Amino acid sequence: MKKYLKLIRVKHYIKNLLIFIPLIFSQNFLQTNILTKTIIGFAIFCLCTSVVYIFNDIKDVENDKKHPSKNSRPLATGEISKKQAIIILSFLLIIIVVLSILFLRNNINSIMFIITYIAMNILYSIKLKNIPIVDVTIVALGFLIRVLYGASIINVEISNWLYLTILTISFYMAMGKRRNEIMVNDIKSREVLKQYNPNFLNENMYMFLSLTIVFYSLWTLEMSESFKDIIYTIPLVIIIALKYSLSIEAKNDGDPVEIIVGDKILLALLTLFAIIILLILY
């Protein structure tokens, strides 16, 4: 069972928690019917991300065997064969289609976000991941789509400032991952890394982090008309940004999930932020 959970990347479902952002900030978190819709939408999207991960592993199995960290993946080690992986992928796609028909058939926007996410990432796995700038843009858009998808499920709009906050922090994490891949695994680990250099990635990732703090601050100013205390979360967001930046400077490949899960202090700060936001809004 463990090898199958590793194949579908259950650990990376943490990224899909972004789907709940529109639910929380629209003050619908305590509405049982709306919360249920979001949970179902979250489950569907988790399956979508698993499909993408499996497809990527099938496509890159030979390269993963030579990679210093990816060589432990089930396909690379031979624990799961390509045929088995294709069967699992197909089964997940069937479940996605069935659940989408049952629960999202009246919400074309949500379905379009699912199709866009899967198609975009398949193209990424086939070709686009080898094109500089395009590769990090797709990674960043993957985070943004999660938020927009979450908003579409419950038919709410997100603030322009919140949209920009999510977009810039996504670019920051995507570029941070590429920079650390160069520093830890060298340019041989990924074809596109040959066209990047650490200075370019370092300068731009911190530009995006600065913009994130600015956009978040502007968003809290907008929200302060209804929730005056929310502006006091800005210092905590700055501290979280500093702690993440410190963690990403350590010897790791820059994967956001690994950094967050592996840093207890950062995880505690994020949990504290979530609790404070819930207390302010509810």
pLDDT higher than 70, residue 32: yes
Cα separation, 177 vs 196, in Å, equals 12
**Across 154-174, average pLDDT:** 96
Q: For 224, which DSSP code?
A: T
How much is the pLDDT for 78? 87
The confidence score (pLDDT) of residue 190 equals 77
Say if residue 92's pLDDT is above 90: yes
pLDDT band at residue 189 using 50, 70 and 90 as cut-offs: low
DSSP code at position 186: -
Average pLDDT over residues 94-102: 96
pLDDT at residue number 187: 56
Give the CATH number of domain 1-157: 1.10.357.140
pLDDT at 186: 63
What tens digit of pLDDT does each residue of 115-130 get?
999 999 999 999 999 9
| Distances from the Cα of 185 to the Cα of 97, 193, 194, angstroms | 38, 10, 12
Q: Are 255 and 177 in contact (CB under 8 A)?
A: yes
Q: What is the pLDDT of residue 46?
A: 98
pLDDT score for 68: 73
In tens, the pLDDT along 259-268 reads 999 899 999 9
Question: Residue 191 pLDDT > 90, yes or no?
Answer: no
The answer on pLDDT for 135 being more than 60 is yes
Instruction: Determine what percent of the chain is predicted with pLDDT higher than 90.
Output: 79
Average pLDDT over residues 189-218: 92
Q: 47-62 pLDDT, tens per residue?
A: 999 999 999 999 988 8
Average pLDDT, the chain: 93
Residue 193: predicted pLDDT: 87
Give dist(CA 36, CA 42) in Å, integer: 10
Q: Report how far residue 74's alpha carbon sits from residue 170's, in angstroms, rounded to the nearest whole number.
A: 28
